[in-house]
Homo-oligomer: A and B are copies of this chain.
Amino acid sequence: MTVTIDDIAREAGVSTATVSYVINNNEKVGPETRKKVLQIIEKRDYHPNSSARNLARKKTEVLGLIVPEVTGVFYADIVQGVEDAAFQNNFTLYLGTTNAKKEREKMMIDHFSGNRVDGLILTTYFINKNYIKELKNRDLDFVFIGNPVKDDSVSTVVVDNFSSGYRAAEHLINLGHKKIAFIKGDPNSWDAEERFAGFKAVMNNYDLEINNDYIKTGNYQQEEGYKAAQELFNLEVKPTAVFASNDQMAMGVYKAAQENNIKIPEQLSVVGFDDIAAASHLNPPLTTVNQPTYRMGQKAVEILIKKIKGQKVPEENIVFETEFIKRNSSQKKSKIF
């Protein structure tokens, strides 16, 4: 038998309204009434039924978060940032994982509709403008982390993947490298595409040729980085540097290099992206780009909660700075090799 507000009211000899008031810290309840009620609540270990409460209030105080997966450092940090911020604002978190599957992504979002959450934070691959339009008609606030679609009518918190990619590749160029390979990420991932665009842009600006043999595609997994590197190493004219669009794949490059007896950074410079925890512990430590994922998660919550609270905030596009981190996996192009 679960205990309800009626039980408490009866036992305390007050009305349910009064009990409700004390639960909700309504000032107008007299001190002793409050005390008595509190006491009985405690004694009966009463916990208000949140469905009933949500129904009556028309809000849930829960945030939904949709991510492809949670085991990669990148998303794990976002989740942590979101969770902490949500907690601090007295919101709880629904977590939905899409496995980067288009259909599951849509299911997840639909699932969160229907007053299950007050707002939604989305890190998605497949969402399109049409779907966003549909979303807007729902009684639901939302903000994106990362911008799968260019759309000024939605709030996003992002990182400038283009510039970050540009800068990281420029580092390689400044080191004297000309034969630079690029390992792209999942074809569906817009962020990898942006990094690639940045790469192409610098190459072009420095009048460097983009050799198609040097452009490989992985799915952000280490294994794919490994395969891509193997192919690269089988080329007649090998690249002297490789830019992997995430650290996982860079780790794969390390492995392939080791197997082929190619020394990093002496014979091959490599730069990654993300600055995962392991990056600084690799041998040699990996030059990479750090994204403030935790803070991005926090920021998304901040914006979302403002919206939920009804503050008329303009749709904003927050761009966080990345940090280029020079470590030892990249060095001046050797004249020997």
Contact = CB atoms under 8 A, between A and B. Distances in A.
A276 B72 CA distance: 11
Contacts of A45: 134, 137-138
A206 interface: no
A48 B95 contact: no
A48 B96 CA distance: 19
Interface in A132-147: 134, 137-139
A69 interface: yes
Nearest to A47: B114
Interface in A66-101: 69-71, 73, 76-77, 79-80, 83-84, 87, 92-97, 99
A94 B97 contact: no
Contacts of A277: 222, 278
Given A55-B55, A79-B70, A49 B114 contact: yes
Nearest to A258: B283
A104 B86 CA distance: 13
A76 B70 contact: yes
B111 A95 contact: no
B76 A71 contact: yes
A60 B114 CA distance: 13
A255 B97 CA distance: 35
Interface residues on A, range: 35 or more
A237 interface: no
A245 to B, nearest CB: 18
A83 B95 contact: yes
Contacts of A92: 94, 96, 111, 116
A283 B285 CA distance: 10
Contact of A51 (B54, B79, B251): B54
A70 B95 CA distance: 12
B70 A115 contact: no
A110 interface: yes
Given A76-B71, A281-B255, A138 B97 contact: no
A159 B70 CA distance: 22
Nearest to A283: B283
A113 B73 CA distance: 30
B50 A79 contact: no
Interface of A: 2, 45, 47-52, 54-55, 60, 62, 69-71, 73, 76-77, 79-80, 83-84, 87, 92-97, 99, 104, 110-111, 113-116, 134, 137-139, 222, 251, 254-255, 276-278, 281-283
20 contacts: A2-B115, A45-B134, A45-B137, A45-B138, A47-B114, A49-B114, A49-B115, A50-B115, A50-B116, A51-B52, A52-B55, A70-B83, A71-B73, A83-B95, A87-B104, A93-B96, A94-B94, A276-B278, A277-B278, A282-B283
